[in-house]
Structure 1
Amino acid sequence: MVRMDLNCDMGEGFGVYRSGNDEQLMRYITSANIACGYHGGDPATMRSTVRMALSHGVAIGAHPGLPDLAGFGRRRMEITPMEAYEMTVYQLGALMAFARAEGGGLSHVKPHGALYHMAAKDAALAEAIAEAVYKVDGSLLLFGLAGSELIRAGERIGLRAAREAFADRTYEEDGTLTPRTVEGAVLESSEAAAAQAVLLATEGKARTRQGSYVAVEADTICVHGDSPGALAHVIALRQALTEAKITIQAPGTL
């Protein structure tokens, strides 16, 4: 039996600004990566998103990012490993408190945006983030790009690591995601996103932007909650994976 987690980045609005259709998306996913206040999110949004996840039986994950609200955490910043460690601990603590206050807990951690991609290639940053997660709660799953330094760092320190793939992004031939600055980096068609998800889940590979195929072993598949077509994508993915006889389960039960 092939099993797969379906995750989505959520709670990324703040103040009067809203991002994504979290309430509707929650019905179709199995894990939610909730912004912790740096790239998005605020106390009210964090609490309401945690409550939504609990009401739908969705696993709660922390989604720490760089301190960059204006750039949505997608702009690279020069930070030291110690800074990466400290900002990860800080953000984990914030979301963990909200989860506990609402009668739940965290299941996983997934860095956001530029921090995620920096840790995919920079071993020192990856080790700092993995250490932060391990010291806060060594039972948490660490989500990272399949084949990345972050996955290797998590496994070395003793964390359970979930290899992540993306249904709504294109890949390069080295297994990295196509930068968002490149045209076509985001798949806008729900049919294309669903087809990629099934290919990832059943054959462990993805079609690259260049037209070849690259091996991508995944435990969890992501759809970005802030994408305009996110809800249509998730509905199409869930249907396609079910038709392909893929069992969709939360990360803690994989």
Structure 2
Amino acid sequence: MQASVDLNADMSESFGPWTMGDDATLLEVVSSANIACGFHAGDPDVMARSMAGAVARDVGIGAHPGFADLQGFGRRRIDLGHETLGNLVRYQLGAAQAMARAAGGKVRHLKLHGALANMASEDAELARAAYTAALSVDPEIIVMVLAGTAQEVAARDLGARMACEIFADRAYNDDCTLVDRRQPGAVIHDAALASARILEMIRAGAIIAESGKHIATRIDTICLHGDTPEAVEIARGLRAELEAAGVAVARFSGARAG
């Protein structure tokens, strides 16, 4: 069993008076936060609050860029050329850097959101375009990748600093991609089940697909989605179970891909 693992959450997804998730409470539990940058969710005020909260609790800050799709929450696929995609990532990363700096912090990692992330997990060239753009802004940024997918292939090819991520609240296909949200059982809402499956994966050093297939992988960080009603319960339960098993929750180092 590994000695430590990072626990991250997607957050800062409220917009104006519309509240999505309990960011303040999640920031008391997680060690890294993926902050929405205003395209799929979030706005400048929400980002400012999230950044300030992360700095106050010494939580690692990550930019979480997605498609410009507020109505669809960034979960609808959009076909963009690689140059446009790269600029979309640069624009959102720059916004995150500015808001983090104003709060006294720094963006240390980048994680793609929603449909953009799913497309990058299937298409290494698309992932490469997104990560090349991020690295052009900050060559030392840590790229958080969906372990075992084309995202990891692209990050390794670029020699980027990398954090391999598995999901506590999502089911897996045999190729390490996530089961489509429209399928039954794709999103896990039971906190006890989420904790049990993650501990099993960490003990195995592998992603365990719905079929039972094991895919060996490096596990640097565990994600849960802040927009699910059970997010805080899952986060607290998972952290408690990890620590009870002797696995400390701590920020990932972002070892360079190799």
TM-score range normalised by the length of the shorter chain: over 0.9
Is the contact made by 1:13 and 1:19 (CA closer than 8 Å) also made in structure 2? yes
**Aligned twin of 1:210:** 211
Classify 1:211/1:148 alpha carbon distance in 2 versus 1 (closer, same or farther; 3 Å): closer
Task: State the TM-score, normalizing by the size of structure 1.
Answer: 0.96
Offset of residue 156 of structure 1: 2.1
**Aligned twin of 2:236:** 235
Corresponding letter in the other structure for 1:33: N
Corresponding letter in the other structure for 1:31: S
**Aligned twin of 2:33:** 32
Deviating above 6 A after TM superposition, structure 1's stretches of 4 or more consecutive aligned residues are: none
**Aligned twin of 1:244:** 245
**Aligned twin of 1:107:** 108
Is the contact made by 2:181 and 2:187 (CA closer than 8 Å) also made in structure 1? yes
**Aligned twin of 1:134:** 135
Distance 1:225 1:29 in 2: 11
Offset of residue 211 of structure 1: 4.1
Corresponding letter in the other structure for 1:137: D
Superposed, 1:13-92 pairs within 5 Å as 13-92=14-93
Unmatched 5+ stretches in structure 2: none
**Aligned twin of 2:199:** 198
Q: Please list the CA deviations of residues 33-82 of structure 1 after superposition, one character each: whole Å capped at 9, or x if unmatched.
A: 00000000100000010001011110000000000000000111111111
Alignment: residue pair count? 254
Is the contact made by 2:148 and 2:175 (CA closer than 8 Å) also made in structure 1? no
Corresponding letter in the other structure for 1:165: I
Corresponding letter in the other structure for 1:44: D
Offset of residue 220 of structure 1: 0.6
Corresponding letter in the other structure for 2:92: Q
Offset of residue 174 of structure 1: 2.0
Distance 1:22 1:241 in 2: 21
**Aligned twin of 1:166:** 167
Distance 2:201 2:148 in 1: 14
Is the contact made by 1:107 and 1:252 (CA closer than 8 Å) also made in structure 2? no
Aligned-pair identity in percent equals: 41
Classify 1:206/1:152 alpha carbon distance in 2 versus 1 (closer, same or farther; 3 Å): closer
Offset of residue 252 of structure 1: 3.7
Task: State the TM-score, normalizing by the size of structure 2.
Answer: 0.94
Q: Please list the CA deviations of residues 76-120 of structure 1 after superposition, one character each: whole Å capped at 9, or x if unmatched.
A: 111111121010000000010011111110110000000001111
More displaced, 172-181 or 110-119? 172-181
Offset of residue 157 of structure 1: 1.9
Distance 1:185 1:82 in 2: 32
Classify 1:124/1:211 alpha carbon distance in 2 versus 1 (closer, same or farther; 3 Å): closer
More displaced, 34-43 or 212-221? 212-221
Distance 2:234 2:203 in 1: 18
Q: Please list the CA deviations of residues 169-192 of structure 1 after superposition, one character each: whole Å capped at 9, or x if unmatched.
A: 111122211110101101111001
Offset of residue 237 of structure 1: 0.3
Corresponding letter in the other structure for 1:103: G
Distance 1:41 1:110 in 2: 15
**Aligned twin of 1:189:** 190
